[in-house]
């Protein structure tokens, strides 16, 4: 089952994300992500969090449309986006797209990336979309395959202490059975050359970052 999570970070252009909601995937708002749902004209199935950033009128409007509100105490160990991810997995999501996870606070962005790790370890495919960027995680169970776009810059970074058996195709500098370790980020700024990019790993978790070299361009959207 597909799921979209709306967090409370920045979303620069609502129109380009509308196609993701075709087919009515499970949609979860992480607290103040409610503002994005309302701006998109989307009715989520559930809102989770401590409700400290969602406006009362937003919650009232969604509750009137039978949206489930799951409120947590403000003093908690999990971030609201993390709670949304947990709820998505609990409801059977097998593919998750996160929107609104980037913005002014670098700590929130880095935390959002790290909280994807336990999710992919459960066999769930995840990706995060932000302005001109798409972040995907490659695992032994879930290799990454991307459409080839010559305007795309591709970087790969380890999210675990060691990632082994990395093989990449469709890029200027391909890898075959390579090993990456934390602290040695030599997978940055590769170039897409083929009609399709494939990245596989044998052990560990690899962060795959697509960036469009044209400021006005965007990475392709998909579920």
Per residue in 161-207, pLDDT (tens digit) is: 999 999 999 999 999 999 999 998 889 999 999 999 999 999 999 99
Contact 133, 151 (CB under 8 A): no
The residue among 131, 166, 188 that closes a domain is 131
- The mean predicted confidence, pLDDT, of the chain is 91
3 and 70 both lie in a single domain: yes
Give the residue-averaged pLDDT of 66-80: 94
Q: Give the predicted TM-score (pTM) of the model.
A: 0.90
Domain count within the chain: 2
Cα(114)–Cα(98) distance, rounded to whole angstroms?
13
**DSSP classification of residue 203:** B
* Helix or strand holding residue 81 (H, E): helix 80-90
Task: Quick: pLDDT tens for 35-57.
Answer: 999 999 999 999 999 999 999 99
The residue range of the domain holding 163 is 132-223
The residue among 88, 116, 131 that closes a domain is 131
CA-angle at 20, arms to 14 and 24, nearest 5°: 115
98 and 155 both lie in a single domain: no
The residue among 78, 105, 131 that closes a domain is 131
Contact 188, 155 (CB under 8 A): yes
115 and 39 both lie in a single domain: yes
Give the residue-averaged pLDDT of 143-148: 92
Contact 20, 223 (CB under 8 A): yes
């Amino acid at each position: 089952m597909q799921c979209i999570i709306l967090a409370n970070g920045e979303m620069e252009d609502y129109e380009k994300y509308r196609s993701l909601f075709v087919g009515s995937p499970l949609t979860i708002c992480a607290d103040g992500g409610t503002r994005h749902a309302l701006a998109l004209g989307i009715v989520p199935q559930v809102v989770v969090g401590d409700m400290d950033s969602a406006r009362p009128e937003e919650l009232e409007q969604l509750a009137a449309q039978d949206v489930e509100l799951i409120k947590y105490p403000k003093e908690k160990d999990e971030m609201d986006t993390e709670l949304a991810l947990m709820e998505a997995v609990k409801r059977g999501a097998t593919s998750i797209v996160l929107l609104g996870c980037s913005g002014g606070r670098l700590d929130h962005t880095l935390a959002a990336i790290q909280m994807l790790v336990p999710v992919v370890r459960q066999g769930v495919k995840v990706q995060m979309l932000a302005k001109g960027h798409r972040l995907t995680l490659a695992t032994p169970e879930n290799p990454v395959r991307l459409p080839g776009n010559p305007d795309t810059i591709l970087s790969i970074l380890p999210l675990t202490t060691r990632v082994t058996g990395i093989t990449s195709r469709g890029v200027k500098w391909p890898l075959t059975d390579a090993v990456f370790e934390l602290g040695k980020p030599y997978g940055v700024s590769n170039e897409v050359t083929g009609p399709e990019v494939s990245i596989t790993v044998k052990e560990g978790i690899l962060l795959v970052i697509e960036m469009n070299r044209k400021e006005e361009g965007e990475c392709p959207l998909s579920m």
